[in-house]
Structure 1
Amino acid sequence: MRKDRDSKETSKCALIPLDVILPRIGTQKLDGLVWHKARIHKHAFSTWLFVLDRNPTLDRLLRWGCDVEQTCLLCVSAEVWRMVLALLHFPTPPTSWNSILLWLPGASNDKFMRLALLQAWQACIYEIWRERNRRFHDGISFSPTKIFHLVRSVVRIRAQSLCSRNSDYVSLLLCWSSPP
């Protein structure tokens, strides 16, 4: 637990400030993690908001007095992240936000595997954010497996679209074509 400005304890979901992370990975690398060639625009934009800590998280919603379920999505997000990266043959990926930000820039030397990782990361962020909204606004919850299938489906469709315009992206499509 850490304390926020009002000396109230915040959950373990709290992030290390961006100014601590940036010197370690650099702004240019951070931009490359978000604004890459295989991005899905709504995923990239959502990711950018989360990286900058500009998206209302559970802690912030609680401070604003919103009536929200106080169950953190960390368990769901870690499970979805593990399933997606197991599909990409990364058996032990980092699961904390800061570890992921530090790990991603050097996670793979292969151009297309790197793009697949970045697609996966952004799609996971987007779909977990949507899961949070489903729970908060609609009272509906999806299983981690269902969220995994949503992530896999959207990145495969994007890879197919890139491949249809440029055959160089066949390797990216192959990253997403292995059986679940």
Structure 2
Amino acid sequence: MAGGRIPKHDFLVWVLARVRLHVPLECPLCSTNMESRQHLFFDCAFSSEVWSFFYSRLHLLPPSLLDDGIRWLKDPSRDSNIVFIVRLAFQACIYGIWRERNTRLHSQVSRPAAVVISEICLILRAKLDILSREQRNLPSTVTYLSNWSLHFV
């Protein structure tokens, strides 16, 4: 998957996994709980809506704890294309949630989860389109993009 990663998404997940993000006291996404990496990315109602969109369409139920979720990403499905999409979506969701959090903190502009989900879908579809073009030279007929279309279109 090394060539299929989106570098800024990959980097943010790396920073998150190493507990290096600096967070304010109150969650800027829901304003109801103290912000922690667990709350911000998984327990917050805003974040849950983002995750639910992607995982429900893939008929997956990942663990709700960050560290368990990262371990789960090693083998979330038997279909290698779905595994790739899940990993890419995980990184894109983390990035999208973090970006929305920062936008709210620094510009006081907030958007609904549906807008963030749409942005994530556009980013993922564009990346999967590029990678699927490379797959066309392989003997397999099922591409990343065809799997994406099956679940998300």
Aligned to 1:94: 63
* Superposed displacement of residue 86, structure 1: 1.6
1:44 correspondence with 2:10: yes
TM-score, normalisation: structure 2: 0.78
Count of aligned residue pairs for this structure pair: 138
Structure-2 separation of matches of 1:165 and 1:54: 35
- Alpha-carbon distance change, 68 to 93 in structure 1, aligned in 2, over 3 angstroms: closer
Structure-2 separation of matches of 1:166 and 1:46: 27
**Larger of the two Rg values belongs to structure:** 1
Q: Is the 8 A contact 2:51 2:93 kept in 1?
A: yes
1:176 correspondence with 2:148: yes
Structure-1 separation of matches of 2:135 and 2:77: 22
Q: Percent identity?
A: 31
Q: Is the 8 A contact 1:152 1:176 kept in 2?
A: no
Aligned to 1:56: 22
Correspondence list, 1:105-124, <5 A: 105-124=74-93
Structure-1 separation of matches of 2:14 and 2:45: 22
Amino acid of the structure 2 residue aligned with 1:129: W
Q: Is the 8 A contact 1:116 1:172 kept in 2?
A: yes
> 3-state SS of the aligned residue for 2:22?
coil
Select between 71-80 and 123-132 the one with higher mean Cα deviation: 71-80
Unaligned 5+ segments in structure 2 are: none
* Superposed displacement of residue 98, structure 1: 2.4
